[in-house]
Structure 1
Amino acid sequence: MISKYRAQFNGSFSEKKYNSFIKMLESGFTNIPFRVAETPVFIPSELQKKLIEAGEEIIKLIKQPNFKELTKGAVPLNWNVPNENDHPHFLTFDFGICKDANGALVPKLIEMQGFPSLYGFQSEMARVYKESYALPPILTPFFNGLNEESYISLFKKVVLGKYAPQEVALMDIDAPNQKTAIDFLVTQKYLGIKILSLTDIFKEGNALFYMEDGKKIQLKRIYNRLIFDEIGDKTALFEQCFDPRSEIDIEWITHPNWFYRISKYTMPFLKSEFVPETHFLNTLSEIPSDLENYVLKPLFSFAGMGVIIDVTKEDIAEIKDPKNWILQRKVVYEPVIESPNGGVKAEIRLMYLWADGDEPQLCINLARLSRGKMIGVRYNKDFDWVGGTVGLMEG
């Protein structure tokens, strides 16, 4: 979107350079099972300012004293985890890049989560983009004056706290086989922590342990990457390890309840030029006459599952639990990224770190490119110049 960098990049692009970039990105880690885009996004300063402003408006709501009261219905009773802390350690806000009535670029909120994203991989990917494509040193993926060194230092502070790396583990249901395994490996490189599957951990009393080289090591903190939706029908696994919903002597980074509190559930409470009109389905006094301009989303799902794009009154009538659905005005993405084969739509994810005792800090970003009907892998299977990437800004 910064025209001079886009023209330079496109003018010198080749498939050979892209293949070399992917090879360098995977080197020393693992093969990447998801599509990485050919290009970064060059974010202009005016859009950067609007993204920052939009994020600050959301954080203002999250920091309200009554936020937990507002979101008390967000956490499903069967997945409520005890000992919830005062704030999440991670915030991620996804914005579709659109144009306003005057033709200016404007971000529109699509999704939000109080849950970690690819905090390791995004930093690594930005560095490899810059190196493999020989991009100008002035370009950075970081906000607030951070660089790679200071960013990793803050990331370490948030995840490790006062503990030694061996007392902290990144945990997922089957960590080595997750699509995001490369992020786990980069995080391990940065922080020195263990990568553990759920079943690698066992409970004695209220304490959690794992085995290494025949020795039992107590865990003090879990960098949680486990999404309960993925384990809904596999809770028998808890008998082999531990039940996250039980009373255990562990610090969660971040506590699982924040995944639900800061989510689609939060969006109806936001009133902003950067947030599309959103309603809990059960609060609608009447169905909008222009349903073609809305999308219907289940509250408790991830990765776009269950979303109804072309909504009808019949779809709404068939919903048996309307309190668990939102009706949201559609966001019209603008194909603002110039590729060799036409315009490409973009989404920017703002990624915050919130250390204990500090304020939330906007640190880095994630971008996704799309030519399909929606952002996401299954809508972009047959296209190039789509997939995961990162936004670069003039530092």
Structure 2
Amino acid sequence: MIQSVRQTFNQAFSPEHYRAFLDKINADFPGQLDFRVAETPVFVPKVLTDKLLTACNDIVNVITRSDFKTLTEQAIPEGQRVPNEDDHTQFMAVDFAVCTDESGELTPQLIELQGFPSLYGFQPYLADQFRANYPIPENLSHLFSVANNAEYLERLRQMVVGDCNPEEVILLEIYPEQQKTRIDFTLTEKFLGVAAVCLTKIKKEGRALYYEKDGRTIRIRRIYNRLIFDDLQHYPDLKTDFYLTDDVDVEWIGHPNWFFRISKYTLPLLKSPYIPASYFLSDLTDYPADLENYVLKPLFSFAGSGVKLHITSTDLDAIPSEQRSGYLLQRKVTYEPVIQSPDGLVKSEIRMLFIWPKEDERPTLLTNLSRLSRGEMIGVNFNKNKDWVGGTVCFFEQ
């Protein structure tokens, strides 16, 4: 999107160079990279950077309201409320489509947000790999609020590990060695000393949790949570000693309830030029006259599952009244293909990544990730067998 930087990058690019770039990642972490990394970073001009920051500030102003928890009490599904919730999330990820406005100027439009961690370990590593392999100008940065990756990782360490022994902190997942994001878990352990532990490996004695490492039994003091209830539904017969909803003596770094509170459920509460209109289906007595410009999203789904891009009033009428509170009607966003590849333009989505230490009044933006797409939607299923798509990182003009 910064034309001069894009031209320089594309001139330096070749398929052979890209394969060498991937080979270096696979050499560093054999067998760990299980998702597609795009051929290029995204170069974000200042005009778009400033709009993204304004949009994020508009969102933060809502989630820091004193009544935010009251407004989102119904966001947590029955049977999935976890005890000992804290005052606010420790993580927030905000997804924006890159679009253009009526004048043709780049502008962001909010797609989704979540009070949940993302690839906080992988992104600084990926940015370093791009810088090591391609000409990335020094005046562009993948970071906010910190000067370099070392400072970024220290901020992350302070929040996740704090004053605990890193062995007393675990990254919680279900079968982490099988997850497509496992390279992020590996990097988290490398950077923070916090290992991924499977839910099935945790033992509970009273309110205390333990896991085994190198033949030793270790008390768990903190949980860096990467496990969501949606994933557990894939294992209906799973038997564990510990359930997320148990009342246990641990400190959650990323309490599970915030996954629901800051989610699609939050969208109707937000107002900004960079946030498309959203409505709970159950609140509507009449549908928008231009219904073809809206998309239907289940509130309680993950990674784009169940989203309907083309809907009619007949489709909406068919949803039973008792289920309508579980759906969101959101004005469609038109992604503008703006990333120049060797054979055409590619769409982009930018995820802004925040941390929110418990003692802070507001969350802090630290870094980002981006996803490139040639399909109708951003997800993997819409981009199979395509190049210049997948996960990447943005370098911002600030």
2:365 paired residue number: 362
2:56 paired residue number: 55
1:230 paired residue number: 231
CA displacement 1:254-309 (0-9 Å, x = unmatched): 00000000000000011110100100001112112222111000000001000001
Give secondary structure in 1 for the equivalent of 2:171. strand
Q: 8 Å contact 1:298–1:307 — kept in the other structure?
A: yes
Alignment root-mean-square deviation, CA: 1.2
* 1:235 Cα offset (Å): 5.4
2:198 paired residue number: 197
Out of 325, 328, 331, which is 1:326 matched to? 328
219-228 vs 136-145, which moves further: 136-145
Distance across 1 between alignment mates of 2:236 and 2:169: 23
Q: What letter corresponds to residue 326 of structure 1 in structure 2?
A: L
CA displacement 1:123-174 (0-9 Å, x = unmatched): 1001001101242333321012431011000010111122110000101011
* 1:204 Cα offset (Å): 0.8
2:160 paired residue number: 159
* 1:81 Cα offset (Å): 0.3
Distance across 2 between alignment mates of 1:177 and 1:196: 12
Distance across 1 between alignment mates of 2:78 and 2:336: 39
Once the two structures are superposed, the pairs formed by residues 1-395 of structure 1 within 5 Å of their partners are 1-31=1-31, 32-232=33-233, 234=235, 236-237=237-238, 239-320=239-320, 321-358=323-360, 359-394=362-397
TM-score by length of 1: 0.97
Q: What letter corresponds to residue 246 of structure 1 in structure 2?
A: D
Distance across 2 between alignment mates of 1:30 and 1:362: 31
Q: What letter corresponds to residue 130 of structure 1 in structure 2?
A: R
Structure 2 residue ranges without an equivalent (≥5): none
Distance across 1 between alignment mates of 2:232 and 2:166: 27
* 1:212 Cα offset (Å): 1.5
Distance across 2 between alignment mates of 1:214 and 1:236: 28
* 1:236 Cα offset (Å): 4.4
* 1:205 Cα offset (Å): 1.0
Specify whether residues 224 and 276 from structure 1 end up closer, same or farther in structure 2 by C-alpha distance, changes over 3 A only: same
* 1:46 Cα offset (Å): 1.2
Distance across 2 between alignment mates of 1:222 and 1:269: 30
Count residues with an aligned counterpart: 394
Distance across 2 between alignment mates of 1:343 and 1:15: 17
Q: What letter corresponds to residue 169 of structure 1 in structure 2?
A: I
Give secondary structure in 1 for the equivalent of 2:73. coil
Distance across 1 between alignment mates of 2:160 and 2:106: 35
TM-score by length of 2: 0.97
* 1:211 Cα offset (Å): 0.8
Structure 1 residue ranges without an equivalent (≥5): none
Q: What letter corresponds to residue 157 of structure 1 in structure 2?
A: Q
